[in-house]
Chain A
């Protein structure tokens, strides 16, 4: 990181020869190394984005040779047809869950950054769910929420009665968002923990000697120290809750009011053959994610992560 290429002025005379040499010859060489990566980047990222912009102005069905131009009609439809717009409200459950998840992760990261017996075991237990295959998680929680399943049995232990957790439109999104918290808390937790542990320990020692309480340490040492990571996690959580797909798609297929924006888009494109409308929806989502990212970059300017 410290050594930069360019015309290294500090290099002794012997070195300066190859340096200048290389600078002149660079010409086509780097492009040989970049050819394949750039080709893949163009074909699988830029071409899709550009063609998506184009599809979104048509009423194409994905197969036909004809792609009738409809202008902004698809976009108008997204924002005026309640069924299409409704799915954004479902995201709110996941947004709230995401911030809950961040709070839980931060709590346990702070806790485990202090000396704790079996600390490593708890770290592993909290983190492991994040590594599990999403389909497996979906089945685990279908079993968990099913009538007379794990949750109902637990409730019976304490004298409460069961419930159609996934069948009832009033609870389905809470249940699914809960699964999302279960799945992703571990990642946030480990990243927070890593950030907290990289805070120099003499800061704590000094504050200990000054008689600081735990809370004061958290508030004045830990929180400022992990600000960039909190920013990054918030954006990932927010962008993630806008693009929820896997868990609700596998668990409920979007039934009972658990349809998310991405489920809607996928169904539109691949089940109802409305590629034009689906492209417009995907574009709206892309714009939203980019907006969230931009806001985050403004709120938490992080010189580390972006400077190439």
Chain B
């Protein structure tokens, strides 16, 4: 934003640039905030590289004696079953995100490209549902999953992630409006069916919206605790969140192993964030403001 100040106003340019620089107090507060964000995480990284005796003897800020001691990571991956957890999370993620993309884009296509009776009612049904926080209805959703015979299966999580995501529908709806109708109509004149138009014309043009949904949804599912915790209690169905949660019992006195588990969970997030920063910022803005 400040970079555009070079434009129209001739003499004021120099002045604006200097006025709008941050002062020392501003930098101090930024550095402080940066430390508040980083320090709690950094000490966990330090702890994860220490062995049990070292951890007991050291304070949290002491560096580990061996920076390449990954024993705790091995323990977390094997005894802590984090390998299985990553596999389960990946499976659920793939199915749920794919499902969400189809559900969201089909809904958006139907609602935006057709005029039909009850269209307003359909829209209202989705709008009202978006106001209901999922956390409040789990007591009853649990019975639905139970009746369907899906309790303690991955399908339960996939269906819930796919079926209750109204935000994604809104992202698609917002985006599909900017796709010119001429494209559909031209295809229609050429004799394409509505399904072909959806599949061959609309879906490819929705790519930016799909990217947004993949990111917003992907992060949400990777971090979700409540749904797998309630619906997938079996050990071998553990996902990232629930498997890490189970560290609480067996490793309760072994902070160095728990710390390694935490780092294993946070690291992929950090890598994805560093690679896709822009997309993530934009995606969250689109997701939160619907």
Q: Which residues of A contact B (CB under 8 A)?
A: 1, 3, 5-6, 8, 15, 18-19, 21-23, 26-27, 29-31, 33-34, 36-38, 40-41, 43-49, 51-52, 55, 62, 104, 107-108, 111-117, 121-122, 124-129, 131-136, 139-141, 143-144, 146, 148-150, 153, 182, 186-187, 190-191, 194, 197, 199, 201-202, 204-205, 208-209, 229, 232, 236, 239, 243, 245-246, 250, 262, 265-266, 269-270, 275, 278-279, 282-283, 285-286, 289-290, 293, 305-306, 308
20 more contacts with CB within 8 A, not counting A62-B143, A201-B2, are A18-B189, A29-B114, A34-B106, A43-B144, A44-B159, A51-B140, A52-B137, A116-B26, A124-B277, A125-B33, A125-B38, A126-B33, A128-B270, A134-B241, A140-B44, A143-B258, A236-B288, A265-B139, A282-B140, A293-B131
Cβ-based interface call for B91 (8 A): no
A246 & B133 in contact (Cβ 8 Å cutoff):
no
Q: With A133-B269, A250-B225 given, is the CB distance from A113 to B1 under 8 Å?
A: yes
Q: How far is the CB of A272 from chain B (nearest CB, A)?
A: 12
Q: B102, B132, B258, B273: which contacts A49 (Cβ < 8 A)? A: B132
Q: Which residues of B contact A134 (CB under 8 A)?
A: 223, 225, 241
Distance (whole angstroms) from the CB of A234 to the closest CB of chain B = 13
Can you show 19 pairs from A to B with CB atoms below 8 A apart? Answer: A3-B180, A30-B110, A44-B160, A51-B144, A55-B140, A114-B22, A124-B277, A128-B273, A135-B244, A136-B266, A187-B288, A191-B288, A201-B4, A205-B9, A208-B19, A262-B135, A282-B139, A306-B127, A308-B111
Residues of A within 8 A of B273 (CB): 124, 128, 131
Taking the closest CB of chain A, its distance from the CB of B12, in whole angstroms, is 5
A123, chain B: closest CB distance, angstroms: 8
User: Footprint of A on B, CB under 8 Å?
Assistant: 1-2, 4-5, 8-9, 12, 15-17, 19-22, 26-27, 29-30, 33-34, 36-41, 43-44, 47, 59-61, 102-103, 106-107, 109-116, 119-120, 122-123, 125-127, 129, 131-133, 135-144, 159-160, 162-164, 169, 173, 177-178, 180-181, 185, 188-189, 194, 198, 219, 222-223, 225-226, 230, 240-242, 244-245, 247-248, 255, 258-259, 261-262, 265-266, 269-270, 273, 277, 280-281, 284-285, 288-290
* A135 close to B245 (CB less than 8 A): yes
**B269, A132: Cβ atoms closer than 8 Å:** yes
A124 → chain B closest CB, angstroms: 7
> Smallest CB-CB separation from A275: which chain B residue?
B139
Query: How far apart sit A40 and B44, CA to CA, in the bound complex (Å)?
Result: 41
Contact A115 B262 (CB under 8 A): no
Which residue from B30, B106, B194, B266 sits with its C-beta under 8 Å from A37? B106
Residues of chain A with a CB closer than 8 A to B258's CB: 139, 143
CA distance A246 to B285 in the complex (A): 23
Inter-chain CA distance A43–B83, complex, in Å, is 33
Residue of chain B at shortest CB distance from A202: B8
Contact between A48 and B141, CB atoms less than 8 A apart: yes
A21 to chain B, nearest CB (A): 8
The one of A33, A104, A204, A269 in contact with B106, judged by C-beta atoms closer than 8 angstroms, is A33
- Of all chain A residues, the one with the shortest Cβ separation from B141 is A48
- B60→A133 contact, CB < 8 A: no
Q: Which of A52, A186, A232 contacts B288 (CB 8 A)?
A: A232
A122 to B, closest residue via Cβ: B30
